[in-house]
A and B are shown apart, each in its own frame.
Chain A
Amino acid sequence: MIAWIAFWNILTKDVKNYYLKPPNISWGIIFPLSWMLMQFIRTPSTLDIDVRSLLPGLMAMSILFGTTSMLAVTITFERRGRSFDRLLLAPISMTTLVLAKISGAVLFGAIIAFSPVLFAAFMTDLSGINWVAAIAGVLLTAVTSTLLGLAIAVSSKEVFEAQTYSNFFRFPMLFLSGLFFPIDRLPVFLRPVSYCLPLTYGADMLNRAINGTGFMNAWIDSLILIGFAVLLFYYCQWNIKRKWILKKNIGTPDCKIGGLC
């Protein structure tokens, strides 16, 4: 019960406090929306198939930027103000803490993911989409992207640093994950890199759900995404403990002269 109360309150606190922070608005909302509008406007509205074919890539991109930006904000703001220590010192497990911190970003990423769908609904016919598979794809992509964002944020001290490190991964992923053109159009030597990126499988799941195309079975995509999520989840826990819970030798100078306890 303690874990559930803490989980829920950390989640709602993050949602209330950080959704509308400027770094999140610029990278998590404005950037994906601008990219989306640019793609929609340049696409002739008569060619329905083009708008639909853009949707999976735009959704995956929105998730990637939305989730990683949210984590960059929630973690680094709290690290800088040392309020994250408060969470580390609470009687809740690291698993609960990580789940609570990523849930807000997953939710945010999922909401942002459906903004291109909303715009596309005015431009093209969206019938025939497998919504269950699309929602599953959105959620799994959001979870892996959020954990990737957490892994980056844990290693950053400032919000701008986290956003810069995130861009180091995000921009190459836009081109390497098959969001806007198929992976088989990439040079052969880059394709193995594409298959190492979780977003490739998220975009593939969305492609299959929305356009019925995709290079892999949706179940296999799901399993690979779950695998990435588990790996990243444990990596993040390990990294938080390693970076933020210091190992000290007994007797290490820690308190200079004049210290009284």
Chain B
Amino acid sequence: MLIGLSRPSGGTISIDGIDGIKDIKKAQGIMGIVADESNLYDEMNGFDNLCFCASLYGMRKEEREKRANVLLEQFGLKNAGGRPFRAYSKGMKRKLTIAAGIIHNPKILFLDEPTTGIDVESARQIRSLILDMKQQGTTVFLTTHYIEEAERICDRIAFIVNGKIVKTGTLDELMENAGQEHIIRLTLNNGAKAIENELQRDFPGLRIEVKDENTCFIISPVKVALSPVLQYLDGRGISVFEAKEIRPTLEDVFVKVTGIEADKLQKEKEGGKK
């Protein structure tokens, strides 16, 4: 709907101040759109594909050729620029399709499952390129089934279930709102079991779980101020070598928010597309 391939039956769309319903063609001029399939032209080579896509945005010949060369270089496809698109590997096709999506330096970029079904190295490169674009000021809308990918590169995340947004926010907000507990793992020199009950008694707001003589967990519904605990342990001759926050994963939050079980989620991931 935002990119103009579906018509809304109600509501409004505003894209960088442009009416996305009445003036969709103007809005499309500032958008880059990368579909879930690599939909460039098999008959044309990589360079010509980029130049053609640039021409759709009114870029002149010299300008589009210069930009195409820059992008081929940036995406590591310089040597493949003269090869037909159909001869590209899946990862190369994906990279060229993303390059075509940003050929006109869009303010907003829509990426639909950019790393699905491609090799690890290409997926890493694409994630790195997305982060670069983000840093350069491009707003990126990323659709993905890989929750860890969203966790790693997105500023704001929305969970969509059956076409409806069920939760949205920054990573921290989602973690907070999901009511996940804060867990700190302490690595001690020794004596964890001996002070478990004492520690629990003196810090009633926290839940203490001791795993072994060297490891104990401090669990709290709110963020934990560590220094009183550390001082307390120090006073009893117990040294703390490491204190590490054990964060729940976004997948844990997703499962909690949506009620979708982890195995179903896994099947959905393996199934790939919507």
Contact = CB atoms under 8 A, between A and B. Distances in A.
> Are A and B bound to each other?
yes
Interface of A: 1-3, 5-6, 8-10, 13, 16-17, 81-83, 85-93, 244-261
B25 A91 contact: yes
For chain B, give the interface size range: 35 or more
Nearest to A87: B56
B226 interface: no
Smallest CB-CB A-B distances: 9 pairs? A2-B58, A9-B55, A90-B56, A91-B29, A258-B268, A82-B39, A259-B160, A253-B163, A254-B163
A256 B265 CA distance: 10
Nearest to B31: A89
Given A91-B56, A91-B58, A258-B145, 5 more contacts: A6-B57, A10-B56, A85-B39, A256-B161, A261-B160
B244 interface: no
Contacts of B269: 258
Interface of B: 1, 3-11, 25-26, 28-29, 31, 33, 35, 37, 39-44, 52-53, 55-60, 100, 141-145, 147, 150, 157-165, 254, 258, 260, 264-265, 268-269, 274
B9 A259 contact: no
Given A89-B33, A245-B5, A257 B258 contact: yes
A82 B6 contact: no
Contact of A251 (B6, B25, B52, B164): B164
A245 B269 CA distance: 28
A13 to B, nearest CB: 6
B57 A2 contact: yes
Residue from the set B26, B100, B141, B144 with the largest chain A CB neighbour count within 10 Å = B144
Nearest to B265: A258
Contacts of A5: 55, 58-60
Contacts of B144: 260
Contacts of B55: 5-6, 8-9
Contact of A259 (B35, B43, B60, B161): B161
Nearest to A89: B33
Nearest to A20: B43
A66 to B, nearest CB: 20
A8 B4 CA distance: 23
Contacts of A87: 56
Nearest to A91: B29
A92 B56 contact: yes
B27 to A, nearest CB: 8
Given A82-B39, A85-B35, A252-B163, A261 B56 contact: no
Contacts of A85: 5, 35, 39
B44 A17 contact: yes
A260 B26 contact: no
B40 A83 contact: yes
A81 B164 contact: no
B142 A255 contact: no
